[in-house]
Amino acid sequence: MTERAGSLAAPRRALRLGLLFLAEAILLVALFQVATDLECRATGIETACRGLRWAGLWFICAASLLGVWLWARPEARDSFLRMSTHEPGGVPWALVHLLGLALILGPIFLLAPGEMNARFARIFPLLCLGALLATLGGVFWLARPAAWAGWLDGRLASLLAITGFAATLPGIVVLAGPLWTVQALTDVTFIAVYLLLRLFSGEVGVNPETYVIGAEGFFVEVADSCSGIEGLVLITAFLGLYSALFRNDLRLRRVWLVIWPLALLTSWTFNALRITALILIGAHGSPDLAVNGFHSFAGWIMFTGLAVAILALVSRSRYALQAGAPEAATGVALAEDDAAVRILPFIVFALSSMLAQAFWTDPALGYPMQVAAMAGVLWWARKKIARLMVRPSALAIMAGLGVGLVWIVTAPPAAPLSAGLAALSGGAFALWAALRLIGTMALVPVIEELFFRGYIQARIDRGTLSSRVLAIAVSATIFALVHGRWLEAGLAGVVFSLVYMHKGRLADAMAAHASANALIAVVALWRGDFALI
């Protein structure tokens, strides 16, 4: 049995796919918020646009609340995990899911910048179809339809109630909007943001009567829809469901008289920090990104994560639990799970890239932060990764050098250093360049090969010729989409896939990728053309 087959034969398939779907969600949010100028009011079909947005919010809430329900129902959870492991949907449903993603992502890559609003009415049906296919494909990839029918027997009413409750949460947030007009809440929020801004800027202005606050020439009107009320609603809803499901194990008086107010205070503090961070982003070079940050899925995702984190703390708190009630099981360490090790580093890599885009006027200046994040997540996964490492073949090295040579020869003319990099002192630039080379040659190849070849390709490859061709095509295509030069990156992805497939060793693909990047990095350093990498 090859390394690939052995490592992926273990259970935990639901976790693997869950992590993959999380990575996809982060990618979609990042692309639609950063790479497009989509604004529902400017599309000509505002109601339909907001309806699609509502569907996305409902999906986030429903998935999270269903996770809480599974947490509280061990029998249903264990049956769900067995179903996903022993009755998978197979490759056809995976292809349906990928087709749906392609339909959603297509407009981002095919439309010119600034065209999204003007053409949204035409692409709206395509986005709806893509969302439907991605959802159905994902659900039935997890388990075949007949398996779902058996698992839902006797549980359907509970699940419909939870998903129906989730559907009301965006509406409840809208109905709770007038809370933002309560003067005491407005004043204390604006005072907190004002004090936080003063720590970073000497030019701060605030007008609570008009809900306007800002710094250094960047001011925003904080309306009820972006005031953090969704955090208060989500925490109340999640804690309410959790209390109902675990009512026999919790000290409910303590939960609602002590923990709930503290959780609301935590959410309010989190929102004050969020407003402060977004204003600073807008004041220091990324106003569009800051405005998007107030009106995006990102806020819902962050507040949902906060609500789940609070429930995790409650589940382990002896203060909240009845005497003799079992604490939540810790389970197997995530760093020991094969799928987590292959997917989570890429999620961290993608998030660090988003942070660099958000907090640095010149995103290249944020690369040291990305190096720290990549090094940290690889250190976390070091034990599993070490088991994959073997001495690479000479073929892998030569293939990688060939990829690097093609990348260099087909590169566009050298670009000058960005203004941010050019402004660095000699020592600072040398440090930045060293970290850039380390990330390019040593960290990125490991992270990308773990995800693209080690997970995506390995999940599709069933050993048949057709599945292998499909595995190469899918992994190389997605690899190309996240790189700037699609054709060259796609060809590189094919080469790395073939190297991996030659002996079934991920270390060979990593070595080929690292060799290519090393050659490119050396030439970039020689030319002074860091745009090459």
Residue 229 banded pLDDT, cuts 50, 70, 90 = confident
**287-318 core/surface letters (b: 16 or more CB in 10 A; e: else):** bebbbbbbebbbbbbbbbebbbebbeebbebe
Contacts of 472 (CB under 8 A, 6+ apart): 457, 493, 494, 497, 498, 501
* Mean model confidence pLDDT for the chain: 83
The per-residue pLDDT for 333 is 57
The per-residue pLDDT for 364 is 84
User: What number of helices (H) and strands (E) belong to the chain?
Assistant: 25, 3
Residue 289 banded pLDDT, cuts 50, 70, 90 = low
Residue 405 banded pLDDT, cuts 50, 70, 90 = very high
Q: Which of 49-58, 97-106, 270-279, 285-294 has the lowest mean pLDDT?
A: 285-294
The per-residue pLDDT for 8 is 40
Question: Taking a C-beta distance cutoff of 8 angstroms, is the pair 373, 348 a contact?
Answer: yes
Element (H, E) at 314: helix 297-315
The per-residue pLDDT for 493 is 94
Question: Is a pLDDT exceeding 90 seen at residue 310?
Answer: no
The per-residue pLDDT for 286 is 66
Tens-digit pLDDT profile for residues 453-491? 998 898 888 888 888 999 999 899 889 878 878 889 999
| Ramachandran region, residue 324 (left: φ > 0; alpha: ψ -120 to 50; beta: rest) | left
Residue 433's DSSP bridge partners are none
What is the value of pTM for the model shown? 0.63
C-alpha–C-alpha distance, residues 69 and 328, integer Å: 14
The per-residue pLDDT for 180 is 63
Residue 324 banded pLDDT, cuts 50, 70, 90 = low
Tens-digit pLDDT profile for residues 123-152? 999 999 999 999 999 999 999 999 999 999
Residue 2 banded pLDDT, cuts 50, 70, 90 = very low
Q: Taking Cα atoms as reference points, which of 191, 189, 193 lies closest to residue 283?
A: 193
Encoded tokens for 127: 């986005």
C-alpha–C-alpha distance, residues 81 and 75, integer Å: 10
Question: Is a pLDDT exceeding 90 seen at residue 494?
Answer: yes
- Percentage of the chain lying above the pLDDT 90 cut: 29
The per-residue pLDDT for 411 is 87
Question: Is a pLDDT exceeding 80 seen at residue 84?
Answer: yes
How many CB atoms lie under 10 A from the CB of residue 65?
A: 24
